[in-house]
Amino acid sequence: MADVRRWLVPRTLLGRLALMTGLMLAIAVGALLWQESSRTRAQIEAGEQARIAAIAGTLALALDGTQHRRAAAASLTPWDSWEAAPPSVSGEHTRLAAAAERNRLATGISTLSLVPSVVDRIRTAPEQPVTDALRIIASSEPVPKRSLLTDYEPEMAPALLRGEIASRGAYRDEYGTWISAWAPIVTEAGQVVGVVEVEASLDSLLEDARTHVGRQILFAFLVLIIMVTAMVWVSARLTRNLTELRLAARRFGSGDLVTPIESHPRASADVRQLAETLEGARREIAKRIEAQSLTEAELEAAAERAEELAHVKSRFLANMSHELRTPLNAILGYTEMLLEDAPADTAEDLRRIHTAGAHLLEMIGDVLDLAKLEAGKMDLVREVLDVGDVLQSAADTVHPLMAKGGNRLEIVRPAQPFTLRGDGQRIRQVLLNLLGNAAKFTENGTVTLEAERQGSGDAARVVFRVRDTGIGMSAEHLDRLFRPFTQADATTTRKYGGTGLGLSLSRELVVRMGGRIYAESREGEGSTFIVDLPLVG
């Protein structure tokens, strides 16, 4: 038993995979063939049903309804052969026998008429079967069956009651599998006086179909056996050639980057190519490790140098801020003094100088704040703030800028006043940046500043929103909105000015306070900036 199992079950993983693949293919092919068998049976049944319905309809058209009524009346008189039957009955027999022979029907064709006593019963309840409800008038059989009655089936109703061709799908009885069809026999006045019944056996057709499908199954399984055998043999041969390569790869995986990876001399071309690929990978990894190896002293020196450069940068920015802010403040002060007594022809130039200086001073402050944030040297103050006061303070500061663009500022205060704990100066700085941008990119529109409380307990948050009806932004511009020294569009910079530092600085401040900032916008429909901060910073 063990020898048989060893012979049937492959020892290699590839062989077992091949065997499992073959079994799965066998199951799939079997299922497909079974499905095909069911489909073939259905097609045979449908085709045979249509055929015998056509035969019944053709015979019904060939029979005279008036003649059939006479035959039905004459059938009450007994006779022993078709020659002894009345001409109306023998004439129907002749047509039915010829049709049965012409269409190779092993079973008989019959003409039927309703027994008068059950006519009302069938018309009242056509869906109920009735025993001995129809009399056989004539048939295609060589010897007549006298006084033979047959049952009424609900499938006959269309033919008997409405003058339509009816049929019954495949059904089984003790004699086999059958299909039946009925066609109405009508008089010239259109009255249904009987039906032609055609029955056909499906046994021979279904047996032929089963034989055909069986041969297909046998052929498919023979092909699968050959395929699985070939796959198992190939996998065993490939595994033998891969043995040494597997050992070499294991050494390589354990960290041996010195020993070369070589294939067996008799290995196939694929195995040799795989060995060459692994050997190339071994050499490349060894080369990269050698090229990228740095001593601990070099790494420490690089870290110290980076730290020193960071200190140099911080000192440079601090000195630059001091050296630039002092003369700028002086320029702004002198400009304000000159504006008090300046004539009308020079006042406008002085205002431009003052505006440019203020803008430059703001930009210097933003650069210094951004550098402090990047260096992690900006300290945040924790203080209790009334949210309504924060909104009002920001609105008061930005009101002149709103009026300059003809914009209306709306403040939506929370329904229930509440406080938050955070750095009030930095929160106002963020809101002023957002309000300033909204005023800059909106003309004769509406800017809305609102705040609401969300959540409860430790998860409570305050959400500020700055909404405008300005030019808006596309999805592409939103992706690069918070990058330093970047604006949504180059044309925006030329038309409205700005350095692109405000939003970047705002994002850094909000992140330092444990929150997040993001924007929603559609081009031409305005923008909404959302600042989400913890209630207890």
CATH number of the domain within which 324 lies: 1.10.287
Residue 244 has pLDDT above 80, yes or no: no
Q: Is 80 exceeded by the pLDDT of residue 459?
A: yes
**pLDDT greater at residue 187 or residue 275:** 187
Asked whether residue 167 is domain-assigned, the answer is yes
Same domain, 93 and 110: yes
Q: Which of 352, 372, 349 is nearest to 360 (CA)?
A: 352
Residues 399, 506 share a domain: yes
User: What CA–CA distance (Å, rounded) separates 231 from 233?
Assistant: 5
Residue 2, domain member (yes or no): no
The Cα–Cα gap between 221 and 191 comes to 59
From 343, 359, 375, the end of a domain falls on: 375
The CATH number of residue 166's host domain is: 3.30.450.20
* Interatomic CA distance for residues 110 and 141, integer angstroms: 9
Judged on CB neighbours under 10 Å (0-12, 13-18, 19+), 117 is exposed
Tell me if 212 is assigned to some domain: no
H helix count then E strand count, the chain: 15, 13
**Same domain flag for 161 and 301:** no
CB 364 within 8 A of CB 328: yes
Same domain, 150 and 81: yes
Q: Are residues 309 and 405 in the same domain?
A: no
How many Cα atoms sit within 13 Å of 407 on the Cβ side? 28
**415 lies in the same domain as 524:** yes
Quick one: CA dihedral 47, 50, 54, 55, positive or negative? positive
Residue 107 lies in a domain: yes
DSSP-assigned states of every residue in 195-215 = EEEEEEE-HHHHHHHHHHHHH
Q: Is residue 207 part of a domain?
A: no
State which of 170, 201, 232 marks the end of a domain. 201
For the purposes of burial, counting CB atoms within 10 Å of the CB of 238, is it exposed (0-12), middle (13-18) or buried (19 or more)? middle
- What does the pLDDT read at residue 225? 77
One domain for residues 358 and 488: no
What is the spatial distance between Cα 369 and Cα 158, in angstroms, rounded to a whole number? 93
What percent of the chain has a predicted confidence (pLDDT) above 90? 10
CA atoms within 13 A on the CB side of 65: 15
Q: What is the CATH number of the domain that holds 431?
A: 3.30.565.10
> For residue 369, is it within any domain?
yes
Note whether 74 and 173 are same-domain residues: yes
40 in Cβ contact with 213 (< 8 Å): yes
Q: Are residues 387 and 485 in the same domain?
A: yes
Identify the domain containing residue 185 by its residue range.
63-201
Whether residue 473 is predicted with pLDDT greater than 90 in this model: the reply is: no
Evaluate if residue 364 carries a pLDDT over 80. no
Domain contains 55:
no
With b for 16 or more beta-carbon neighbours within 10 A and e for fewer, the 145-166 pattern comes to: eeeeeeebbebbbbbbbebebb
179 in the same domain as 73: yes
Query: What percent of the chain has a predicted confidence (pLDDT) above 70?
Result: 75
pLDDT at 192: 87
Q: Look at residues 323, 314, 237, 252 and name the one whose alpha carbon lies nearest to residue 286.
A: 252
Strands (E), 153-289: 166-173, 176-186, 192-201
pLDDT band at 494 (very low <50, low <70, confident <90, very high): very low
* Burial status of residue 425 (CB atoms within 10 A of its CB: 0-12, 13-18, 19 or more): exposed
Q: Place 408 in a pLDDT band, splitting at 50, 70 and 90.
A: very high
Alpha helices in 452-521 (DSSP H): 475-479, 490-496, 502-512
Q: Taking the CA of residue 50 as centre, how many other CA atoms within 13 Å lie in the half-sphere pointing to its CB?
A: 5
Q: Nearest 5°: phi and psi at 406?
A: 70, 25
- Per residue in 24-66, pLDDT (tens digit) is 777 777 677 677 777 877 887 888 888 888 888 888 887 888 7
Q: Using CA atoms of 87, 93, 98, 103 in order, give the dihedral in degrees to the nearest 10.
A: 160
Q: Which residues contact 379 (CB under 8 A, 6 or more apart)?
A: none
CB 25 within 8 A of CB 220: no
CA 113 to chain centre: 61
Shared domain check, 462 and 439: yes
Cα–Cα dist 109/367, whole Å: 104
Total domains, the chain: 3
Report if residue 44 sits inside a domain: no
Instruction: Please write the tens of the pLDDT for every residue from 117-172.
Output: 888 888 889 899 988 888 888 888 887 775 578 888 898 888 888 888 888 888 88
Q: In terms of domains, do 399 and 466 share one?
A: yes
Among the candidates 333, 357, 375, a domain finishes at 375
Q: What is the mean pLDDT of the chain?
A: 78
Banded pLDDT at 531 (limits 50, 70, 90): very high
